[in-house]
Amino acid sequence: MCSDLSQATPLYAELADKLREDITAGVYKPGDQMPSEPTLCETTGYSRSTVRKALQLLVEEGYVTRSQGKGTFVSDVSGRASAVSGLTPSFLSYTESVRSLGGIPDTHTLDIRVVPPTAGLKEFFGITDENRLFEVTRLRSSDGEPICLETIWLPMLYADLTGRELDGSIYLALRERYAILPENGTKFIGICHANNRESFQLHVERDTPLLLIEDHVYDQRGRPLHVTKQVMRGDKHRYSMHIPSVEM
Give the tens place of pLDDT for each residue, 181-218. Answer: 888 888 888 999 999 999 999 999 999 999 999 999 99
Mean pLDDT of 115-142: 94
Final residue in a domain of this structure, among 84, 117, 138: 84
Task: Please tell me whether residues 71 and 113 are part of one structural domain.
Answer: no
Domain extent, residue 76, equals 4-84
Give the tens place of pLDDT for each residue, 15-69. Answer: 988 898 888 778 888 888 999 999 999 999 999 999 998 898 888 777 888 877 7
Give the model's pLDDT for residue 239.
61
Q: Is residue 179 part of a domain?
A: yes
Give the model's pLDDT for residue 86.
42
Mean pLDDT of 161-173: 85
Final residue in a domain of this structure, among 84, 116, 145: 84
State the pLDDT confidence band at 238, using cuts at 50, 70 and 90.
low
pTM of the prediction?
Answer: 0.63
Task: Please tell me whether residues 223 and 126 are part of one structural domain.
Answer: yes
Q: Is residue 205 part of a domain?
A: yes
Instruction: Label residue 40 exposed, middle or buried (CB < 10 Å: 0-12, 13-18, 19+).
Output: buried
Q: Is residue 69 part of a domain?
A: yes
* Average pLDDT, rounded, for the chain: 82
Ordered alpha helix ranges (H), the chain: 11-25, 37-44, 48-61, 77-85, 94-100, 119-125, 163-166, 170-178, 196-202
State the pLDDT confidence band at 97, using cuts at 50, 70 and 90.
low
Answer yes or no: are the C-beta atoms of 129 and 144 closer than 8 Å: no
Give the model's pLDDT for residue 67.
77
Task: Please tell me whether residues 38 and 114 are part of one structural domain.
Answer: no
Strand partners, 113: 135
Task: Please tell me whether residues 79 and 109 are part of one structural domain.
Answer: no
| C-alpha to C-alpha distance for 165 and 214, rounded to whole angstroms | 22
How many distinct structural domains can be found in the chain?
2
Give the model's pLDDT for residue 80.
47
CA torsion, ordered 144, 147, 153, 158, to nearest 10 deg: -20
Element (H, E) at 69: none
pLDDT: is 192 or 98 the higher one? 192
Task: Please tell me whether residues 29 and 126 are part of one structural domain.
Answer: no
pLDDT: is 130 or 165 the higher one? 130
pLDDT: is 103 or 44 the higher one? 44
CA angle, 240 then 22 then 169, to 5°: 45
Mean pLDDT of 104-118: 92
Mean pLDDT of 115-127: 95
DSSP 79-91: HHHHHHHSSS-EE
State the pLDDT confidence band at 246, using cuts at 50, 70 and 90.
very low
Task: Please tell me whether residues 98 and 77 are part of one structural domain.
Answer: no
What CATH number has the domain bearing residue 204? 3.40.1410.10
State the pLDDT confidence band at 79, using cuts at 50, 70 and 90.
very low
State the pLDDT confidence band at 237, using cuts at 50, 70 and 90.
low
| C-alpha to C-alpha distance for 55 and 22, rounded to whole angstroms | 13
What CATH number has the domain bearing residue 12? 1.10.10.10
